[in-house]
């Protein structure tokens, strides 16, 4: 029996962003330089494949500093950023800390600190419970930041002084939803201050734009990413709200429910910023076993962003 045809539209940019590449490099360089184990607070990036690979190389993942049994080993903070209590706890234990917070998240921290120093109350647009939100809120004393998630929250906001208000956002939000929330804030509080350019990062924006470019042409969109990856979940939503009838988040090829492929002539494929390309390649291979696959790459733009490693790791030497 000849295999049925399947056209695959591969969105680009997709997959690893510069902040994720840097965070993974930091753990790998720390292992090279200081030997095993290197402790990492929280998943360095939200991807099980990446975390498992680093565990295999000697990284040990913990959720809190007090879980680290050996005070002589380095600890790396994840790309999502951490509240100030975390480096303070590491300092109390005299741990050697390496910060893998993405520079674009660190920039949001700086904005929040600046607005606070200028006397503004801060509105953070983000998702409750996400580590990046916990990290950003934890840059300032309790009560200095109000988290809002929706347009309804923006409508209900009742600040003490509407003239001294500023907003910042999580970096991995939906561009369209955030625009609606910001418009509501600006209508209700014309004096509100915000970032010169949106806090949503270039990688989140590019991956969403690339999905929009293919969403109307595909019968099914698969997004490779973890269920706790904010930017991956947003890609599913962006696909569905831009003309794609079905979209699903899969961590690996093993999560694919092949019954979803019934009636699918064109498949869209993309990956969140923490998902490695090998997971996309495995899906293409699995499709090729079932279908006569033809791949078309839809490249919206090339990405050239890269971030420097922390100074202590730039000249990594193997452990003695």
Q: Site residues (CB under 6 A) for ligand SF4?
A: 17-20, 79, 102, 104-105, 171-172, 201, 203-204, 231, 273
| Residue with smaller CB distance to ligand SF4, 19 or 268 | 19
| Residue with smaller CB distance to ligand SF4, 135 or 291 | 135
Residue whose CB is nearest to ligand SF4 in the complex, by number: 19
Q: How far is CA 289 from CA 3, 75, 93, in A?
A: 8, 43, 53
Catalytic entry in 64, 132, 198, 315 = 132
To the nearest whole angstrom, how small is the minimum distance from the Cβ of residue 111 to ligand SF4? Answer: 13
> In 10 A of CB 76, how many CB atoms?
27
Distance CA 285, CA 292 (A): 11
| Residue with smaller CB distance to ligand SF4, 97 or 230 | 230
To the nearest whole angstrom, how small is the minimum distance from the Cβ of residue 187 to ligand SF4? Answer: 28
To the nearest whole angstrom, how small is the minimum distance from the Cβ of residue 197 to ligand SF4? Answer: 14
Distance CA 151, CA 87 (A): 34
Tell me, yes or no, if 209 is annotated catalytic: no
Which strands make up the sheet holding 292-299, listed edge to edge? Answer: 247-250, 220-224, 266-271, 5-12, 292-299
Q: Which has the closest alpha carbon to 273: 174, 127, 172, 176?
A: 172
| Residue with smaller CB distance to ligand SF4, 79 or 279 | 79
Q: How far is CA 248 from CA 206, 273, 296, in A?
A: 19, 16, 20
Residues annotated as part of the active site: 132
């Amino acid at each position: 029996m000849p295999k049925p045809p399947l056209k695959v539209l591969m969105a680009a940019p997709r997959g690893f962003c510069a902040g994720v590449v840097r965070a993974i490099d930091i753990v790998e360089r720390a292992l090279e330089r200081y030997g095993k184990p290197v402790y990492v607070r929280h998943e360095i990036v939200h991807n099980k494949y990446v975390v498992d690979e680093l565990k295999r190389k000697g990284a040990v993942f913990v959720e809190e500093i007090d879980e680290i049994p050996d005070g002589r080993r380095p600890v790396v903070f994840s790309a999502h950023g951490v509240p100030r209590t975390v480096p303070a706890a590491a300092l109390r234990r005299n741990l050697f800390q390496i910060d893998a917070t993405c520079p674009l998240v660190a920039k949001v921290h700086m904005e929040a600190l600046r607005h606070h120093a200028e006397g503004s109350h801060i509105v953070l647009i983000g998702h409750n419970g996400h580590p990046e939100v916990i990290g950003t809120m934890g840059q300032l004393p309790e009560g200095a930041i109000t988290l809002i998630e929706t347009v309804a929250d923006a409508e209900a906001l009742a600040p003490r002084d509407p003239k001294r208000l500023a907003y910042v956002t999580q970096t991995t939000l939906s561009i369209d939803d955030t625009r609606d929330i910001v418009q509501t804030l600006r209508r209700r509080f014309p004096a509100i201050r915000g970032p010169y350019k949106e806090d949503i990062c270039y990688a989140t924006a590019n991956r969403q734009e690339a999905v929009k470019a293919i969403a109307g042409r595909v019968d099914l969109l698969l997004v490779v990413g973890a269920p706790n990856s904010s930017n991956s979940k947003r890609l599913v939503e962006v696909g569905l709200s831009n003309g794609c009838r079905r979209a699903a988040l899969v961590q690996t090829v093993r999560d694919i429910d092949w019954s979803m492929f019934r009636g699918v002539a064109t498949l869209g494929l993309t990956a969140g910023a923490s998902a490695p390309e090998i997971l996309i390649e495995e899906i293409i291979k699995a499709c090729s076993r079932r279908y006569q696959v033809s791949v078309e790459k839809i490249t919206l733009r090339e990405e050239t962003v890269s971030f420097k490693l922390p100074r202590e790791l730039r000249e990594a030497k193997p452990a003695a």
